[in-house]
Amino acid sequence: MDGRLNTTELHAEFLNHKITVYCQRLDYGYEIRILGGQRSHVGSVTVADEQGNLQTITLPGHKEDVITRQWAAQIWEIVKQPVSVLGGVHYDDLEKEQLMEVIHVLEKLLAECKMNLQKS
């Protein structure tokens, strides 16, 4: 390692539970974890390769692939390096309006993450 490895943490809160994003710059590539809600977990993982091609694995019953694919594609557009995104945000029994609010929170975190990457 050449010492450039660093991690940025972003935080938000929804329904009294934290959502945390960890964005780690590697020597070559980026590793991002989006976790929180009532239970952090592994729901989906998306990897963007050097050309921006996406590969996603989603565990049965999970829907985080929508989030991980969006994040991987948009982060790759900035860094043009491999990107892995793990998503696991869970809330019990959300109504459609609440789900839309979670998506809005995640979009704000994505915008903040992208802004941080563009500065570095």
Q: What is the pLDDT of residue 62?
A: 93
Q: What is the pLDDT of residue 5?
A: 59
The residue among 73, 113, 76, 105 whose CA lies nearest residue 89 is: 105
Q: What is the pLDDT of residue 1?
A: 34
Contact 85, 34 (CB under 8 A): yes
> In the 3-class helix/strand/coil scheme, how is 40-74 assigned residue by residue?
CCCCEEEEECCCCCEEEEECCCCCCHHHHHHHHHH
What's the pTM? 0.91
Q: What is the pLDDT of residue 27?
A: 92
Token pair recorded at residue 112: 């903040």
- The pLDDT tens digits along the chain (120 residues) read 344 558 899 999 999 999 999 999 999 999 999 999 999 999 999 999 999 999 999 999 999 999 999 999 999 999 999 999 999 999 999 999 999 999 999 999 999 999 999 887
61 conformational bin, left if phi > 0, alpha if psi -120 to 50, beta if neither: left
